[in-house]
Structure 1
């Protein structure tokens, strides 16, 4: 009888720790129920290294994430939807770029704010985009001495 009570208590403790861990992981990754946010769209020539869930940053601070990436069959560009946290207003002349965290780091989406007094409305398109730069092609240009 004592052994079964101990097993039940240990099992309950393990279950509670597992639920706590999953809740913590969902909050950190932003998977569990997105906080209030609004969508913006952008179209990139190359979205190398960016997937659904990739961070969207402004001044190095995470303000959202990539929600959707699809190939546009007419333009052969990567049409992207990003979600930006509610309350963060972005000037409508801002640019959006694919940036790298370093040689070994991953890529993220960076918003470079403009100076317009007007802000993007939900579902607006950011037209000023800069695609990912391929590190391999940069190295090949450097090695070959091509200045193109």
Structure 2
């Protein structure tokens, strides 16, 4: 048995490395999909008209720093808006009159939810709802409008000199 182990030390180390990477990947995936959200996190709901690009595990940020994650998404049957449940770190006292916006890290970057703190003295607590929200901007429709020329304001044609119209 000892000679077998000595002959296969390389394979054993590679196997151990593969198992360690698999465990790391499972933990990473668990945390990124919201499964690793803190049990003591403050859970608030934000209603968005358009939540494109946002999934469970998406970052929630204040001033660019991650303070939570998206824990759940569902369609509100009364308003037909997306009700997004945010799990926010309880150490961060976000004012109750804060607003939320879906923004991106750049032209090719991923989306995240930015919380814009309000001026209230009372912080958000479990079960609160953020009503003041801004949904995701549909970049492809904006590019289509630019390319097709739709969305321009129509200006009246300027009269040519001498009273003739072009």
TM-score relative to the length of structure 2: 0.75
Pick closer, same or farther for the CA change 1:50–1:95 going to 2, 3 Å. same
Pick closer, same or farther for the CA change 1:106–1:28 going to 2, 3 Å. same
1:13-32 equivalent positions in 2, closer than 5 A: 14-15=15-16, 18-19=19-20, 22-23=23-24, 26=27, 30=31
1:26 Cα offset (Å): 2.2
Runs of 4+ aligned structure 1 residues displaced above 6 Å come to: none
Partner of residue 37 from structure 2, selected from 18, 27, 34:
34
Aligned counterpart, 1:146: 151
User: Where does the alignment leave 5 or more consecutive residues of structure 2 unmatched?
Assistant: 154-166
Q: Give aligned pairs, total.
A: 148
Aligned counterpart, 2:125: 121
Secondary structure, counterpart of 2:51 in structure 1: coil
User: Where does the alignment leave 5 or more consecutive residues of structure 1 unmatched?
Assistant: none
Structure with greater contact order relative to length (CA < 8 Å, sep ≥ 6)? 1
1:16 and 1:75 map into 2 onto residues whose CA distance is 50
Structure holding more strand per residue: 1
Aligned counterpart, 2:4: 4
1:29 and 1:57 map into 2 onto residues whose CA distance is 19
Q: Which has the larger radius of gyration?
A: 2
Contact 2:37 2:87 in 1 (8 A): no
